[in-house]
């Protein structure tokens, strides 16, 4: 992944970003008084926080990267997986229904979600829901298409 441009956000852009984060995930305070940059790459547009990729733009929507989810600790759009699924997810696998322990029932098919592991509540991946949240746990087959995960190219930026 190559960076095309990198610009520090203006105060008005920061305020709009904080409003978007607060509306979607409940709390933007971890990003206050930090250096925020808008970064264009050949694949994604991202927001770097203190030179780390914490948010990215997917289909016009700002969503946290795995690092961003670890920082924000959102309470919405969360899917918990059991420890047996972790090794597959951190290698880029899509999330299968039998590995899902719990999912936010407000998740709709097509929503972007944050996949966390059950034991410690740490984010492992960002993906797109293939089924509604209330149908994920125990369903056979893929329930989330993985978009970004720990140790991929975004993580290593």
Distance between CA atoms of residues 154 and 148, nearest Å? 7
pLDDT for position 30: 87
Distance between CA atoms of residues 134 and 126, nearest Å? 18
pLDDT for position 157: 82
Distance between CA atoms of residues 20 and 14, nearest Å? 10
Ordered by start, the domain boundaries in the chain are: 3-72, 78-149
- Count other Cβ atoms within 10 Å, centred on residue 86: 19
Whole-model pTM? 0.91
pLDDT for position 29: 85
pLDDT for position 27: 80
pLDDT for position 23: 82
Residue of 91, 93, 44 lying closest to 53 (CA atoms): 44
Domain 78-149, CATH? 2.30.130.10
Low-confidence ranges of the chain (pLDDT < 70): none
pLDDT for position 47: 94
Pairing relation of β-strands 45-49 and 36-41? antiparallel
pLDDT for position 20: 85
User: Which CATH number does the domain 3-72 belong to among 3.10.450.120, 3.40.50.720, 3.90.226.10, 3.30.1330.10?
Assistant: 3.10.450.120
Distance between CA atoms of residues 113 and 89, nearest Å? 14
């Amino acid at each position: 992944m190559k960076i095309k441009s990198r610009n520090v956000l203006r105060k008005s852009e920061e305020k709009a970003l904080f409003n978007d984060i607060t509306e979607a995930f409940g709390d933007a305070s971890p990003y206050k008084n930090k250096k925020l940059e808008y970064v264009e790459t050949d694949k994604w547009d991202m927001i770097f926080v203190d030179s780390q990729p914490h948010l990215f733009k997917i289909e016009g929507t700002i969503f946290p990267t795995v690092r961003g989810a670890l920082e924000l600790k959102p309470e919405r759009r969360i899917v918990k997986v059991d420890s047996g699924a972790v090794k597959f997810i951190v290698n880029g696998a899509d999330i299968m229904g039998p590995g899902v322990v719990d999912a936010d029932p407000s998740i709709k098919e097509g929503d972007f979600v944050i996949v966390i592991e059950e034991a410690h509540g740490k984010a492992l991946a960002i993906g797109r829901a293939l089924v509604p949240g209330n149908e994920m746990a125990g369903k056979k087959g893929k329930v989330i298409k993985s978009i970004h995960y720990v140790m991929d190219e975004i993580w290593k930026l």
